[in-house]
Amino acid sequence: MANGSRQAAWEFFGAELRRRRENAALTQSELGTLVFVSGGYIGQFEQAIRKPQLDVAQRLDTVLQTDGFFERLWKKLIKDQRYTEYFAHAAELERLATEICEYAPAVVPGLLQTREYAQAVFWASNPFANEEHIEELVKGRTDRARLLKDATRPVYWAVLHETVLRIPVGGPAVMAHQLDHIAALTQEHKALLQVLPFAAGAHPEMGKMMWLMEFEDAPPTVYTEAVRSGNLVDEPLVVKRVRASYDHIRAAALSPEASLALIESVAEDYRRCASTT
């Protein structure tokens, strides 16, 4: 679904939500209480600023007695088919974030991936897929990556475990290009990168990716992933704990300058390896 039609569907969802809420004689705050979100969130849904998650759409149907209308609309019109269902909402919020902080334990974050790296990742995850499907996934990933090149891009800070640099995804040439790309983004001040070295040893949330997003007019949100599932949380206590873990990881990581030097050194190692094969 193109961006324009997706936005139109989103606006239709919001208009219908407002109409049915008013028909039920409920304020935004009252409806928010009934579906376990804030009244401000209801207002953002109605204005097409944010997209509700599927479980919220289902609760709206229950409270407003709409016989599954919002769930069907969510599934048919709003869900972005380029992304897995559990990630689609996070991808939408990413575009609204003013700051994104990410920790990557094993894979280069999507916003930093080159086309070739993303292609290798998707083929590894979908070995029996056809090329058309892989191309659709890669396009979704590269479209996301443009966020860091926008004039209104968010502040982006990522900590990569050294494992990310050492796993030869796609082979030496692909990795050399990928690490050169990361280095260029840092040198152009479009991203702030740190590397958590093997020597740091044990650290908070070992092996778990974490992704924190800040917004201008909404509470901060945490996104984490497990096997074929994602978890998007804005509960203040959970966000506070994840933020503390992330701060500990940043403190244990190399400085941005030392991190850049390591990234460039590993890229050069891959380049030499590629030239001898």
Q: What is the pLDDT of residue 235?
A: 87
Beta bridge partners of residue 212, listed in sequence order: 101, 222
Q: For residues 73 and 103, state if they share a domain.
A: no
Most confident stretch, 77-91, 138-152, 179-193: 179-193
Q: For residues 120 and 240, state if they share a domain.
A: yes
Q: For residues 145 and 33, state if they share a domain.
A: no
Q: What is the pLDDT of residue 66?
A: 94
Q: For residues 70 and 94, state if they share a domain.
A: no
Q: What is the 3-state secondary structure (H, E, C) of the chain?
A: CCHHHHHHHHHHHHHHHHHHHHHCCCCHHHHHHHHCCCHHHHHHHHCCCCCCCHHHHHHHHHHHCCCCHHHHHHHHHHCCCCCCHHHHHHHHHHCCCCEEEEEECCCCCHHHCCHHHHHHHHHHHCCCCCHHHHHHHHHHHHHHHHHHHCCCCCEEEEEEEHHHHHCCCCCHHHHHHHHHHHHHHHHCCCCEEEEECHHHCCCCCCCCCEEEEECCCCCCEEEEEECCEEEEECCHHHHHHHHHHHHHHHHHCCCHHHHHHHHHHHHHHHHHHHHCC
Q: For residues 136 and 174, state if they share a domain.
A: yes
Q: For residues 166 and 261, state if they share a domain.
A: yes
What percentage of the chain carries pLDDT values higher than 70?
A: 93
Q: What is the pLDDT of residue 162?
A: 97
Tell me the pLDDT tens digit for each residue of 179-190: 999 999 999 999
Q: What is the pLDDT of residue 81?
A: 55
Its pTM surpasses 0.75: no
Q: Is 19 a domain residue?
A: yes
Q: Is 83 a domain residue?
A: no
Tell me the pLDDT tens digit for each residue of 1-14: 444 556 677 788 89
* Mean pLDDT value of segment 157-165: 97
Q: For residues 213 and 170, state if they share a domain.
A: yes
Tell me the pLDDT tens digit for each residue of 35-64: 999 999 899 999 988 878 888 999 999 999
Identify the CATH number of the domain in which residue 66 sits.
1.10.260.40
Tell me the pLDDT tens digit for each residue of 221-273: 998 877 767 788 888 999 999 999 999 999 999 999 999 999 999 999 999 99
Q: For residues 164 and 211, state if they share a domain.
A: yes
Q: For residues 124 and 159, state if they share a domain.
A: yes
Q: For residues 70 and 96, state if they share a domain.
A: no
Q: For residues 215 and 271, state if they share a domain.
A: yes
Q: State the residue range of the domain holding 114.
A: 89-275
Count of domains observed in the chain: 2
Tokens of 96: 């609204």
Most confident stretch, 77-86, 207-216, 248-257: 248-257
Q: Is 249 a domain residue?
A: yes
Q: What is the pLDDT of residue 2?
A: 46
Identify the CATH number of the domain in which residue 219 sits.
3.30.870
Q: Is 191 a domain residue?
A: yes
Q: Is 34 a domain residue?
A: yes
Q: What is the pLDDT of residue 133?
A: 81
* Mean pLDDT value of segment 140-154: 85
Of 250, 265, 217, 231, the closest CA to residue 86 belongs to 231
Q: For residues 73 and 96, state if they share a domain.
A: no
Domain final position from 46, 78, 110: 78
When pLDDT is cut at 50, 70 and 90, the band that residue 219 belongs to is confident
Q: Is 199 a domain residue?
A: yes
